[in-house]
A and B are shown apart, each in its own frame.
Chain A
Amino acid sequence: MKDTNIMSEEYGEIRIQKDLITKIETRVKETGFESVEEYVTFVLEEVMKEIEEEEPEEVFSEEDEEKVKERLRALGYLD
């Protein structure tokens, strides 16, 4: 049963193209999800988890910075 108690949580709204919603509605019937919202929330959470796991820590080395500065000068981007 859909949890209708949303007083303790905050929700926002987003817009999705209608043809995508139709595809998801068809999909939801074949799954254990009870609504398009539940399915979309699950998919987005999974994607975000994957992205956070994939995202490398940005490490900028001084050596790389000097190398790229030299290259950008040779290419005419920097004086």
Chain B
Amino acid sequence: MIILAIDALEYTLVEEFKCNNLKQTFYGRTDISEFSEPRTMVLWSSFMSGKNMEAKILAKGNKEMWNTQLDLEETFFRYYDNPKIIDLPGFNYEKEHHDMERMLLKKYFESNSEDEKNTIKKEYNNHSFDHHKKIKQEFQNALNGSHDFVLGYFSVADVIGHLNFGNRIMMKMIYKDLDEIAGSINESFIVLSDHGMENIGMFGDHSNYGFWSTGSMDLGTPKITDFFNIITK
């Protein structure tokens, strides 16, 4: 089983940019309406546990929320002999890297100088693109390995989108790259995002639905917590 977990993959852009590998045969939106906000950590934790984890995670507070790490036994990964999960929020999120992202985001919004903002944005974007290259390689290595389950989590569309969603050229480049990654997978796989993205001017906010696709089954409008049973069946 292979899962391409793409944070903030937006349904309307997958269509607009004709990402046929990401679409596969069946694709649609997920229903995340049970959650008060489309929070990354809450949604991925709910995905892998099959339960709505919002209350439990929010009780930790905003800062501590980002340190959530579910045990293997709390997730559906436990049903596999040799699972490989890469950088998934709520499981094995690369803390240092993602803390830096949020630090740069904060620095950007605290700055009052346009020049300084541009400098920070360049650093923020480069940090995300460098991480994306690393994750791509790790994912390819995992696909060539002997795992019975591989999940690659890609954050680039979300991270870049927050400060650059209005830059269509940049977003198209990212979506084309993600589409190429999907095209490189030679076995059946699921594409899933926690939420999508929508414009606030040139910036990006989380939208209230995610994206899914499969090569073999029409899932309708599944809840993110439904994937626990969909995958383990």
**Which A residues are within 8 Å of any B CB, using their own CB?**
51, 54-56, 58-61, 63-65, 67-69, 71-72, 74-79
Contacts and interface: CB of A to CB of B under 8 A. Distances in A.
B108 to A, nearest CB: 9
B203 A68 contact: yes
B169 A51 contact: yes
Nearest to A62: B201
Interface residues of B, number: 25
A27 B205 CA distance: 44
A67 B202 CA distance: 11
Interface in B39-67: 39-41, 62-63, 65-66
Contacts of A56: 166-168
Contacts of B38: 75
Contacts, number: 62
A55 to B, nearest CB: 6
Interface of B: 37-41, 62-63, 65-66, 102, 105-106, 109, 162, 166-169, 200-206
A65 B66 contact: no
Given A54-B168, A55-B169, A58-B166, A76 B39 contact: yes
A65 B166 contact: no
Contact of B200 (A67, A74, A76, A79): A67
Contact of A77 (B162, B169, B202): B162
A72 B166 contact: no
A71 B205 CA distance: 7
Nearest to B167: A58
Contacts of A58: 166-167, 202
Nearest to B36: A74
Contact of A78 (B106, B169, B200): B106
Given A58-B166, A59-B202, A71-B200, A76 B65 contact: yes
A65 B201 CA distance: 8
Contacts of B162: 68, 72, 77
